[in-house]
């Protein structure tokens, strides 16, 4: 098996072109593909194919997810990772659900003001670039935990494809070559000892990217499980990397890291059940609150991105993000009022006061008060196996290529997830998000996330597996993806291709992607107080829909190299 993979993967890219089982969905006009047994949608064709290979070897959905997570760490270094973290939402064919939190944690030596200067002002980029930006990575512990509970194939089988890709290399897509080149200056500045991605000659599409150090790290993980990462040689290399910069992750931090199984957020929207990620992600709570907020509006009748639809969605987003900034943080450290925030009556009552004629200025919208309470780059994949088990998994280094630091000798990138904490109340993070006490830095605490891996049921049956990267826009993108299918009759491909918009309370503006919201509607919105900001791509969403005939309809976001495969 291992030998076979080693020989096979370097040439896999070429095989894609001729493969009839794997079909690319790269244009806006592309129709949804359908598969009958299993489907895998990820940000990279090679990772999708590896997932399908595992399913075809009789692996289950979690086996495939583990193999895909490790493969993405090799072929999609922007966000695929072993040096970051993520969340997995799982639903088995009988309807049992759970979620796995393998989010990074603040190191033991972290403290509230660690990114502030003497005058109490945030030091530019300190929580984004370099060793100090990194939280204690969670991905390897997460994969081991998922495999222990649900896996059926051998751990080494799941690591083998990633090891082969790292060792033998793989052909870069045009987009990847361009991105590698665009980041060279940052990589050189942050990696004084060099890194395999750094080279003088520009990268070109089709160049083979070999990562020997990463291959060796993956081999240690294959051999020893998470101990091959959190202890021994890899841990020594991580701690040595910390000392090369201003980092504070210690051997004890690594050794003590644990992934945590959590009760997912489950709630209803009409006759659908929404199953999504609980804190320390804000995703599940905010997504459910958004859906509940718009449930009573006749969205279907109003239509996709119609004037009223946009107003209702934006006004809901403004309020839900205000609550997010105040009430959400790591539940192990902060008492998150989950029941209040996901109470349908509360969300719907609040929307009754809202005018859809004029924008409510965000300054007039304050987070709700509850009795007893004070107060771009990530990647998503969806997998369904032939038994109907489903995984929705979002994983990240936070910014593209994380902290920009490769652990020297271990060949993987450190995350810059510490920036997801509220570095200072009132100071926006990389995504413009605000926070306060709930999400202040404390040792061992998990930073708040927006990642929203989600599964939707219809009348108790699996309906949809969906998620996306996009920082603060993740929640509103998943919100739109779900409504696109449930209200606006889109198929899987259309639901992820459709242009998107976003409001996050502050800054008080609608972010509008190219092609989103018709011009005449945008003009009316402007007149009624809705400031708009035109921007580039929002997210890279993946979606698998289970059709009434049991077929799996897949949608891979055309904004990237995203790819749907199946059999």
Interface residues with ligand DON (CB under 6 A) are 376-378, 396, 398, 417, 420, 449-451, 469-471, 474
Cβ of residue 203: shortest distance to ligand DON, in angstroms? 21
Q: How far apart are CA 423 and CA 84, in angstroms?
A: 19
Q: Is 397 annotated as a binding residue?
A: yes
Strand partners, 390: 91, 384
Cα 463 to its chain centre, rounded Å, is 20
103 labelled ligand-binding: yes
Least Cβ distance, residue 428 to ligand DON (angstroms): 14
Q: Would you say 434 or 462 has its CB closer to ligand DON?
A: 434
Residue 446, marked binder: no
CB-nearer residue toward ligand DON: 128 or 462: 128
Cβ burial, residue 83 (10 Å; 0-12/13-18/19+):
buried
CA dist list (Å): 120 to 111, 326, 470 = 13, 21, 29
Q: What residue spans of 19-131 are helical by DSSP H?
A: 45-56, 61-75
CA distance 260 to 138: 10
Which CB sits closer to ligand DON, 55 or 450? 450
- Smallest distance from the beta carbon of 536 to ligand DON, in angstroms? 11
Give the Cα-Cα-Cα angle 488, 490, 495 (nearest 5 degrees).
105
Exactly one of 378, 379, 454, 468 is catalytic; which is it?
Answer: 378
Q: What Rg value do the Cα atoms of the chain yield, rounded?
A: 22
Phi then psi for residue 483, to 5 deg, are: -65, -35
- Cα distances from 304 to residues 363, 437, 490, 510, in angstroms, run 28, 38, 10, 16
- Answer yes or no: 231 catalytic: no
Angle at 282 between CA 277 and CA 288, to 5 degrees: 70
At its nearest, how many Å lie between ligand DON and the CB of residue 377? Answer: 4
420 is in an annotated binding site: yes
Cβ nearer to ligand DON, comparing 228 with 470: 470
φ/ψ region of 446 (left if φ > 0, alpha if ψ in -120 to 50, else beta) reads beta
- Shortest distance (Å) from residue 417 CB to ligand DON: 6
Place of tokens 């998503």: 380
Pairing of strands 22-23, 563-566: antiparallel
In the complex with ligand DON, which residue's Cβ is closer, 53 or 129?
Answer: 129
Which parts are annotated binding residues for L-glutamate? 103, 396-398, 420, 471
The catalytic residue positions are: 378
Which parts are annotated binding residues? 103, 396-398, 420, 471
């Amino acid at each position: 098996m291992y030998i076979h993979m080693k020989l096979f993967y370097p040439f896999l890219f070429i095989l894609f072109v001729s493969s009839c089982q794997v079909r690319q969905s790269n244009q806006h006009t592309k129709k949804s593909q359908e598969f009958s047994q299993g489907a895998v949608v990820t940000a990279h064709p090679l990772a999708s194919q590896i997932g399908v290979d595992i399913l075809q070897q009789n692996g289950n959905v979690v086996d495939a997810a583990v193999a895909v997570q490790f493969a993405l760490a090799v072929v999609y270094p922007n966000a695929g990772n072993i040096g970051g973290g993520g969340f997995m939402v799982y639903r088995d064919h009988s309807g049992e659900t759970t979620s796995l939190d393998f989010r990074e944690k603040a190191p033991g030596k972290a403290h509230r003001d660690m990114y502030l200067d003497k005058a109490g002002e945030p030091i530019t980029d300190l929580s984004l670039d370099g060793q100090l930006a990194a939280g204690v990575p969670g991905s390897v512990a997460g994969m081991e935990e998922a495999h222990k509970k649900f896996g059926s194939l051998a751990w080494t089988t799941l690591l083998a494809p990633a090891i082969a890709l790292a060792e033998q290399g793989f052909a870069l897509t045009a987009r990847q070559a361009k991105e590698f080149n665009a980041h060279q200056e940052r990589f050189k500045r942050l990696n004084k000892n060099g890194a395999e991605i750094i080279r003088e000659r520009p990268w070109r599409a089709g160049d083979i990217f070999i990562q020997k150090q990463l291959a060796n790290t993956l081999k240690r993980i294959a051999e020893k499980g998470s101990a091959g990462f959190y202890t021994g040689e890899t841990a020594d290399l991580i701690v040595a990397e910390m000392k090369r910069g201003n980092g504070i992750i210690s051997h004890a931090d690594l050794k003590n890291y644990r992934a945590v199984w959590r009760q997912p957020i489950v709630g209803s929207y009409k006759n659908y059940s929404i199953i999504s990620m609980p804190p320390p992600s804000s995703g599940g709570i905010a997504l459910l609150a958004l859906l509940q907020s718009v449930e009573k509006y006749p969205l279907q009748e109003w239509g996709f991105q119609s004037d009223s639809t946009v107003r209702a969605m934006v006004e809901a987003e403004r309020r839900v993000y205000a609550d997010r900034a105040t009430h959400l943080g790591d539940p192990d450290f902060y008492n998150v009022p989950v029941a209040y925030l996901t109470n349908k009556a509360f969300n719907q009552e609040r929307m009754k006061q809202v005018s859809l004629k004029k924008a409510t200025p965000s300054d007039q919208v304050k987070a709700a008060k509850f009795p007893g309470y004070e107060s771009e780059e990530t990647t998503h994949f969806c997998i369904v196996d032939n038994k109907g088990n489903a995984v929705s998994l979002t994983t990240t280094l936070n910014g593209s290529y994380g902290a920009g630091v490769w652990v020297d000798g271990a060949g993987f990138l450190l995350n810059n997830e510490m920036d997801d904490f509220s570095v200072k109340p009132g100071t926006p993070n990389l995504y413009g998000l605000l926070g306060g006490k709930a999400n202040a830095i404390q040792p061992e605490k998990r930073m708040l996330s927006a990642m929203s891996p989600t599964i939707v049921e219809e009348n108790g049956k699996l309906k949809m597996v969906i998620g996306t990267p996009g920082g603060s826009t993740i929640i509103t993108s998943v919100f739109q993806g779900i409504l696109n299918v449930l209200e606006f009759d889109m198929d899987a491909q259309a639901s992820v291709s459709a242009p998107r918009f976003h409001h996050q309370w502050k800054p008080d503006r609608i972010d509008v992607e190219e092609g989103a919201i018709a011009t005449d509607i945008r003009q009316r919105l402007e007149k009624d107080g809705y400031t708009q900001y035109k921007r580039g791509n929002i997210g890279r969403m993946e979606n698998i829909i289970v059709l009434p005939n049991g077929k799996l309809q897949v949608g891979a976001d055309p904004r990237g190299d995203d790819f749907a495969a199946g059999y």
